[in-house]
Structure formats: C-alpha cells, structure tokens
Structure 1
Amino acid sequence: MKEEQTLCYSCTNENCFIKKHLHLEQMADYVSKKQQVICKKSDPFIVEGASLQGLYFICKGKAKTVKTGINGREQIVRLTSNGDIIGFRGFGTSKKYLIGAYALEDTVLCNFSNETMLEILKEVPEFTYALMLFYAEELNKSENNIRKIAHMNVRERVIDLLLYIHRKFGQINGLIDIDLSRKEIADFAGTTEEQAIRIISSLKKEALIQTVGKRIGILEVSALRSEIMEHKYF
C-alpha cells in the first residue's frame, strides 16, 4: 500500500463526494491535506477494530467492506466503486473502525484524516448537510435490506445479490464488471459457498445467467426481477 499527495482539483472522478463540493470556497483549506492511497488487488486498507484514521473516498477501483460474524467468519456488508465513501460507520461516535475493507482490484483511494474531516464538518455547513443526507439514505438502505433478506430464501438472496451488482457495476461484453469469487458471493448473500455454487449452476442451466471464469453475466434481468418482486425489488 502506497501513499502519495495529489490535488482534488485535477481529479476526473465526478462521482466523488469531495469533488462535488469543491465549488465551495472553504473546501480549498482542507483538500490539500488529504493523502492518496494506492492498493493492489486483495490489499486490506482498513482493519476491523483498528483505530480510526478518517474516511476513504474511492478515486478509482473497487473494494469490499466486511464485518466479522459468528465463528469469526467475515460477512461482506458492502461493495464499493468510484466515488463511494468507506469507513463512515462509527465515524464521529467510535474510536475504532467497525468494518474491514479490501481492494477487489488495483484501487486508488483518497484519505481524509479524522481531524480534517471534523474541521470540514464544523466549518462547511453545506458539506455537513449533504453528509447528513448520505447517512440518512444509508440507514434507510440498511433497514430495507434487513427486512427484505429476513423473508428471502437462499436462491432469492443470491438473485438479489446478482441484480445488485448488475445495477451497481454494469455489464461489459455481457458480463458484470466485477470479479467476485463464489465464496465472496456466498458471504454477501449470507449462505455457504456450496449453496451459492449450486444456485449459480441452476440459474445457468435455466439460461438466466452465463459465466466466464469468476465473471457472471445476466441474460434475463426481467425474469430474475420477477422472482423477487414480492420482496419489493424496486
């Protein structure tokens, strides 16, 4: 993992939460304080339980956030891509990270320290308001997912995950643009690797999806949506 100093004003990532607020004059005092972190695929950049070192914003790449569950098993709780924020759970209320995070491919991250983030929140009200709305939206998503997953069987959970990564990352040449192992799919869907493999195989035989190595492509989006429609997919 490598650290560098870069300028936010030269960044081309228009989805970044910081980039969206660079028009605010006060932000100029803070963006020069951030550090850029370059992670290779599979590198951890947040260790669950480690001391808070601020927030990370993905400049380019993909990452997963994980939480340790029963018997020490890691549960994937979020997949992230360009512009997403990582490390916000517990920020401001805890001294330690409540999640761990790993790069899913070579990834460039921007880190703003605790001190810098707190200064921004105190001095830039427009940014603070926008971040409050972000937290409210994330809480709403979490509550909806808890209700939804509680009523889904294993097949529906795997389908829900496939549709989620299809929406978030899109498809290139008929394949979803993210590499996830079958174990990672199982961890995110809350099932075993063996069950995930069986369900993916079944969906492939039904001509609903296709696979090339780790990559999965959805062939029949509407058919998969209809299977979980009662759980309010939309």
Structure 2
Amino acid sequence: MSAYISKKQNVSCKKSDQFITEGAPLQGLYFICKGKAKTVKTGINGREQIVRLTTNGDIIGFRGFGTSKRYLIGAYALEDTVLCNFSNETMIEILQHIPEFTYALMLFYAEELNKSENNIRKIAHMNVRERVIDLLLYIHRKFGQINGLIDIELSRKEIADFAGTTEEQAIRILSSLKKEALIKTEGKRVGIIYAEKLRSEIMEHKYF
C-alpha cells in the first residue's frame, strides 16, 4: 500500500467547516486521521438530518463512490479535524490491485447496510424518548467518556436531528433524563450516569 499511501492528500478543517457538499461531484474517499465529523442528508423542507458521526479512522463519502459519481451526503467537522483524501483514480487502482483492501471494504459496506436497516427499524418502532436514549448510548459507545462526560460536543439541535425529532422535544427529554439522575450535562456535553438503566428502557428493541 505504500505507493498508494504516498498519493494521499491531507486536508485540515476547522470546527464547523464543510468539506463535502451533498450533490457535488465525487472527489474520492476521506478518512479521518484526527478529529470528529458529522455526515448529513437533506430531508423534507431542506432540513439536514445527521445520518452518521465519525471519528479517528472512519471513512466518509463512501456511499457515492463508484455509483452515482456524486456525494450523497454532506459532511462537517465537529472540531478541528485532519482528514486524508484518496482521489477517485487512486481508489480505483487500490481496489483493482490490492484484493485484501477490496475484501475489507466489501465487509465494511455489508456492515453499514446492516446498520442502516437497523436504524430504519428503530425509527419505525421507537418512541422519541427511546430514540434519544439510543443516540446517547451510541455516542457513549463510540466516543467514550472523559471525566464523566461523553467525548463529543453536540448541540441540542444536532441531537434532535440525529434522533429524528424536534429541538424542543430533545431538550425536554434531556431535561427529564437529567431530573431522573440518569444523565448529567455541561454545556454541549452529556454524561451518562446509569447506562444500565438507559439500556433497560430500550432492551425490547434488541439494543445489543
């Protein structure tokens, strides 16, 4: 892979910078070297909904690669982030000449498809409170906690967008969970106090 690694381009983004525009021509795949980002998709009335949160080592922009030739999502940095980009041409060379990488990418696509199908099921069967809890447990697993707070900053609007609800409902549910002493909040950060109690609320939806 060393010959292909040398062809990558590093991209530095400040917090809130958009580095992929939905519908723009495909410019290869992005990998996060350091930082965090969100991918969004435009829905009804032009509202952006968060479809994925990403951190070190994650791939961004893979859904449009090799199919539509355009990005099917937009992407923003959630903090100062360093990305590396492999061009379309370089990616095609890698896929044609490095079978181990091609196989790994195939498994990655299969896993992402499975997650998408599970998310559709969750939206259909979970109420709003359960979706917010599911989101909190997801970011807790993915990013971990430091000093009792999940290691990612998300605004109440971003939490609402990802949980498929309104900002007002998200605020109300977070306030309720806080009063029940299940979570704590400091600014844009949320800390989970009793993960087991939160898991028990959504256990019937096969959380594990």
Pair in the same fold by TM > 0.5:
yes
- CA distance, structure 2, for counterparts of residue 149 and residue 209 of structure 1: 23
Query: Partner of 1:91 in structure 2?
Result: 65
Identity of aligned residues (%): 88
- CA distance, structure 1, for counterparts of residue 64 and residue 16 of structure 2: 24
Q: Of the candidates 30, 51, 62, which is equivalent to residue 36 of structure 2?
A: 62
- CA distance, structure 2, for counterparts of residue 207 and residue 42 of structure 1: 31
- CA distance, structure 1, for counterparts of residue 185 and residue 48 of structure 2: 25
Q: State the secondary structure of the residue aligned to 1:89.
A: helix
Aligned positions of 1:171-182 closer than 5 A: 171-182=145-156
* Root mean square deviation of aligned Cα: 0.5
- CA distance, structure 2, for counterparts of residue 40 and residue 29 of structure 1: 29
Q: Of the candidates 29, 36, 42, which is equivalent to residue 10 of structure 2?
A: 36
Q: State the secondary structure of the residue aligned to 2:22.
A: coil
TM-score (ref. length: structure 1)? 0.88
Query: Partner of 1:140 in structure 2?
Result: 114
Aligned positions of 1:96-115 closer than 5 A: 96-115=70-89
Cα distance, 1:144 vs. partner?
Answer: 1.2
Unmatched runs of 5 consecutive residues or more in structure 1: 1-26
Q: Which amino acid aligns with 2:168?
A: E
- CA distance, structure 2, for counterparts of residue 62 and residue 123 of structure 1: 30
Instruction: Tell me whether 28-37 or 155-164 shows the greater mean CA deviation.
Output: 28-37
Work out the number of aligned pairs and report it. Answer: 208
Q: Of the candidates 183, 204, 229, which is equivalent to residue 178 of structure 2?
A: 204
- CA distance, structure 2, for counterparts of residue 63 and residue 89 of structure 1: 16
Unmatched runs of 5 consecutive residues or more in structure 2: none
- CA distance, structure 1, for counterparts of residue 119 and residue 41 of structure 2: 16
Indicate if the aligned counterparts of 2:122 and 2:131 stay in contact, CA closer than 8 A: no
TM-score (ref. length: structure 2)? 0.99
